[in-house]
């Protein structure tokens, strides 16, 4: 497993003195003091965060952040981290972030912005931290004691957290991990993961984003262009801001970096968007929150023709929060069930409420393995290099960033497994 963030420039917290850090694809440039960090959160204005917060701030929603751990003592996270709710068997190091990545994701979700720190999109949500080994920063003993990603997801599935945010990727398909994801989905959790940073034409598939029941998130920049580094394929469901973000460069937590880039940040922001919606509609199911994200996503192509680079489009939670008449649909009906069907299977349109707690069946077609990808993946990715933004629609958002278009906008959707209770994944 590895984190899905590229590192940027170091910014000293509470001090105007900036030291530079050479990072992948980023040259030396001026940074910002902590007081300026929120100005680097360029997406808050276009998303009209202030207007959304008049309706919802994420209050009452717990988000499990499975990452490098979360430091609960940064100014922006004081009082936001529920370390006591992590089961003892997976609690090792949960509040000891070994590289700053997990703390950054937590702040992007639920940071209060105190002392000029990062202001989360859902500032009243709460974080349940899990530390896994996402890279080479842990020594052998610590890595041995850290829970695996599968163990963390299963523990989160049994917790009160409604959303499981996973800003890490692996190129390997693991049947046991897929079973754990299905278990979490059967418990009513909404799972979100970045699709990975190996490049649009890499041919690699990113897990856990490619597993059924996981919302796979890609990245866009300030101009709504789908990020060149973001992977593509039929497991891309949504896009969110993921470039030029502030974040921690190292686990001393005295500095932010500028220009951090990756699908990790897009994952955290999507998790926060889901928290805003769920907080405003606490009686909704994960299906309904997922449907709301899909229905209101910014796009210029038919909703039933998701693209390989942008999926169903750019997240726009304000469209849900601003519409008191929005119908989230059936609570126990998979919003993507039609496209997930195998040829010859019968479409299930109504599910009795009792099915909500039942474990969904596994799909007949498992995720593709290996680096090559399927012929559909290759076809969908071809010609997608000129992904670009188009004018915003009449939703009232103040930027063109909320509708994204790639050259491969019209993608033929073919069957995967049909899941009666919860959402699943397009075939890949």
Spot the catalytic one: 68, 101, 227, 259. 101
In degrees rounded to 5, what are phi and psi of residue 148?
A: -75, 165
Nearest alpha carbon to residue 33 among 120, 112, 116, 110: 116
The dihedral sign for the CA sequence 344, 348, 354, 357: positive
Task: State the burial class of residue 340 (Cβ atoms within 10 Å of its Cβ: 0-12, 13-18, 19+).
Answer: buried
Task: State the burial class of residue 354 (Cβ atoms within 10 Å of its Cβ: 0-12, 13-18, 19+).
Answer: exposed
Crossing angle of helices 175-186 and 149-157, in 10° steps, is 10
DSSP 191: E
* Structural contact between residues 184 and 421, judged by C-beta atoms closer than 8 angstroms: no
- The reply to whether 264 belongs to the active site is yes
Q: Under the phi-then-psi rule, with left for phi > 0, alpha for psi from -120 to 50, and beta for the rest, what region is 80?
A: alpha
d(CA 422, CA 374): 25
d(CA 342, CA 390): 34
- The reply to whether 279 belongs to the active site is no
Joined together, the tokens standing for residue 230 give 């973001």
Spot the catalytic one: 170, 219, 264, 399. 264
- The reply to whether 67 belongs to the active site is yes
d(CA 413, CA 285): 25
Spot the catalytic one: 3, 56, 67, 259. 67
Catalytic residue set: 67, 101, 264
């Amino acid at each position: 497993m590895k984190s899905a963030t590229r590192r940027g420039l170091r910014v000293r917290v509470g001090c105007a003195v900036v030291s530079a850090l050479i990072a992948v694809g980023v040259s030396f440039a001026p940074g910002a003091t902590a007081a300026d960090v929120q100005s680097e959160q360029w997406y808050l204005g276009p998303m009209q965060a202030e207007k959304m917060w008049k309706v919802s701030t994420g209050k009452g929603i717990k988000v499990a952040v499975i990452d490098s751990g979360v430091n609960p003592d940064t100014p922006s996270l004081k009082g936001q981290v529920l370390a006591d709710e992590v089961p003892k068997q997976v609690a090792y190091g949960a509040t000891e972030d070994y590289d700053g990545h997990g703390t950054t994701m937590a702040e992007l979700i639920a940071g209060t912005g105190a002392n000029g720190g990062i202001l989360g999109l859902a500032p009243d949500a709460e974080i349940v931290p899990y530390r896994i080994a996402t890279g080479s920063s842990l020594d052998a003993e610590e890595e041995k004691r850290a829970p695996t990603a599968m163990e963390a997801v299963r523990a989160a599935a049994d917790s009160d957290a409604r959303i499981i945010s996973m800003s890490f990727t692996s190129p390997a398909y693991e049947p046991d991990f897929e079973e754990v994801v299905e278990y979490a989905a059967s418990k009513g959790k909404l799972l979100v993961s970045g699709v990975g940073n190996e490049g649009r034409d890499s041919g690699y598939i990113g897990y856990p984003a490619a597993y059924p029941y996981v919302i796979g998130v890609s990245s866009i920049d300030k101009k709504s262009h789908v990020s060149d580094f973001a992977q593509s394929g039929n497991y891309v469901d949504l896009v969110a801001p993921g470039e030029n973000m502030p974040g921690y460069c190292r686990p001393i937590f005295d500095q932010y970096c500028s220009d951090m880039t990756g699908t990790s940040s897009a994952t955290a922001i999507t998790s926060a968007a889901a928290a805003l919606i769920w907080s405003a509609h606490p009686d909704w199911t994960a299906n309904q929150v997922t449907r709301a994200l899909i229905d209101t996503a910014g796009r210029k192509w038919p909703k039933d023709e998701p693209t390989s680079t942008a999926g169903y489009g750019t997240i726009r939670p304000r469209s849900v929060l601003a519409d008191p008449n929005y119908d989230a649909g059936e609570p126990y009906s998979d919003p993507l069930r039609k496209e997930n069907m195998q040829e010859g299977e019968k479409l299930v349109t109504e599910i009795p409420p009792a099915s909500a707690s039942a474990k969904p069946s596994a799909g007949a077609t498992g995720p593709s393995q290996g680096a090559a990808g399927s012929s559909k993946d290759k076809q969908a990715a071809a010609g997608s290099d000129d992904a670009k933004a188009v004018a915003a629609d009449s939703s009232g958002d103040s930027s063109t960033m909320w509708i994204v278009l790639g050259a491969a906008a019209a993608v033929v959707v073919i069957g995967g497994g049909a899941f009666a209770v919860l959402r699943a994944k397009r075939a890949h």
